[in-house]
Amino acid sequence: MAGSAYDDIQQRNAALIFKALQGSVFTAPSTAAAITNLTDSGDKLLKALPTGYEDVGWTSDDGAQFGRDVDTSDITGWGSVEPLRSDVNSDVTTLQIACLETKKATIGLYTGADMAAATPDPVSGELSIEKPARPSFRYYRVIAIAVDLTDDGEYYVARFLPRARVTDFDEQAMQSSDDSPLTWAVTLTSYQDATLGYSERYIFGGPGWATRLASMGFDALAS
- Confidence category of residue 133, pLDDT binned at 50, 70, 90: confident
Alpha carbon distance 193, 181 (integer Å): 35
216 has a pLDDT exceeding 90:
yes
Convert 25-91 into a string of H (helix), E (strand) and C (coil). Answer: EEEEECCCCCCCCCECCCCCCECCCCCCCEECCCECCCCCEEEEEEEEEEECCCCCCCCCEEEEEEE
State how far the Cα of 110 lies from the Cα of 185, in Å rounded to an integer. 7
Rounded to a whole number, what is the distance in angstroms from the first to the last CA of the chain?
42
Model confidence over 34-82: pLDDT tens digits? 999 999 988 999 999 999 999 999 999 999 999 999 999 999 999 999 9
Indicate the pLDDT class of residue 4, thresholds 50, 70 and 90: confident
Answer whether residue 2 shows pLDDT above 70. Answer: no
Looking at every residue in the chain, the average pLDDT score rounds to 94
Predicted confidence (pLDDT) at residue 199 exceeds the cutoff of 80? yes
pLDDT of residue 71: 95
* CATH numeric code, 20-73+85-216: 2.30.110
DSSP state of 214: H
Mean pLDDT over 9-28 rounds to: 95
Domain ranges of the chain: 20-73+85-216
The percent of residues above 70 in pLDDT, for the chain, comes to 98
